[in-house]
Structure 1
């Protein structure tokens, strides 16, 4: 027998959630074949077969939470699967391994006279799929009381769910008019997916379309960290605006030559990354971290760039940004963004940033207050470039491409004066790209 275990994921990650299986019980498996994908707090991990064999038993299903070292499946080696132990094969009948038949089919193989609903197996138990038996055990449901629509009497997960819902939803005669006490599918969920809350809510009309979605592990982690940031940090946001005329003019004049020379377009993020690094050098407390009653000042500049993906927001890190050219920064951001959208980021791509930048402007945001990416103590929010009338001097007004910028910071170690001065420094560097080249 070959045990398939959850591998070591990372120093800070001890569990994951099974995203999907690529094999079923009874499937033949080749060495190197992809078996299952695990979703962790930060990245997805693929587990491949180390040996040839037959998938005899899948112990954890999609959606289950599993820990490092836990056995999630069992393979039977190919040589064993050809002749099961104790099998009495006749010379004119080909040998068939029970491992080659899915478990729920092995439990319901047709036998003489076994074609009526409600039939039981040799141990006088109602026939049911393994997943249904597991769910019934978790919910304390007697399989003999569950009605099934299967013509052979096999109980499925859907039958368990329907039976549980029928027990927990009160009848209309028992509910006061206008209200309904709702048990949030408490009894209809497995242990690792129960909502341990009972609440009184207005009744949902049965003819209204609704959909209940399970939060992915990544979305749960994002939610947890954002709430933690707001709970643990004394977070405050200060605002300013940047005249983007000089940068837009520079990009217009140099874009073709830059792209031809470096093979990548000159975007806005390299300017903002350089401006942030220049400001961090002038105000190092924004590049720090609180550890207990100490402040850890970081003398390196690993800038996190927020990237939106279909599965949620991730913040891959551009390493040693102070030593990179504009082209190298643009190339690195492009690579990280592609990996994020292809779901191929590694944990090392996401760890240990010192400061973050997020750009809501690409979605049309005019102004927002970004939330800290803890344990960092500063994050810069970029926004939409919008043409607005600006007073050039006492007598003249001009339409200029303006961008609001926001700096959220941890007031525990960053004072208001320092935060405002930091943001003013960013503004000055962006409005004078030549100065940005010198100081960034």
Structure 2
């Protein structure tokens, strides 16, 4: 679900990238007060309030072609795979990481040492059907498939998602799978109904810097590198997206696993040999066509960005992480500034500093709910941010052969 018209139109221009702490209340006041919610405490609401589309299930015989079409056309993040037709048991999931691995295998852009991949490659070359289930068994860093009952509260769900699990399946009263609840869906629900939860307003005015969230342990790729290398990096490291930067580490854009959908058609495979910078322009064009205008998401925030602005941008871009870049008006914290030597001329505007993930955001919401959130700094001169456990773990998997690492 996209941002409501009020919130979408109120997002600041790309030049300013945020709204100040003092204007957060005025910004939120533009939103209508939601009706029909039984509680002003979001954590007490049942998870069924996140139900916005039916779950899509596939069976072990579903081909890669059919599964990929369902995943892309229905704009889903994952497809649970049944043990057999008519069964209620889930044996695996198929997602964009699997699609990416399969693509790299088919076109020969990755050297898979696993004999099972070689067997699948031989099946493809022989013209035999490969199923999504076969490919899913070779996936890396998959979440354990979890189900929760419909009586689970949003507070209980937040606790689970704050651990780094990205999505869970929700059953109906009969125990059948009903829909997927994810980190993104709970953030979207809270943002679109923010006026219903007055206790969250003080949190909305906090800045990323004051919340001390995010990670400086990031992976990125040069805009001059080929798209195939970016997809290969994500496959080998298990991360979901890469920041694309120029020679000065200034953020150019973002390539995620979901973007593999732009190179799955035979007519677009050539893009694998194009530069990441060129690929960003292709993505912008595709998204502009769908939106009816020349526009593309901006995936960056500042340390001075408010929590409200960060939520708004996550919902608007539908991404899983935002990149912290250098603001034109505020100096970076000493920790971030230490990445650059005096010979490099110091930190430049839009230079990449770190990353904030959905797990970071859910962790803040959960800590706020439990009353354990760190208080605002007593002095405006307080500096430094610790990298969140979840973000650090996710990005520390990068191997030494990546194009760039900060």
The TM tier, using the shorter chain, reads under 0.3
More strand by share: 1
Q: What's the TM-score once normalised by structure 2's chain length?
A: 0.25
Q: What's the TM-score once normalised by structure 1's chain length?
A: 0.23
More helix by share: 2
Flag the structure with more relative contact order, 1 or 2, with Cα contacts below 8 A and sequence separation at least 6.
Answer: 2
Whose radius of gyration is greater, 1 or 2? 1
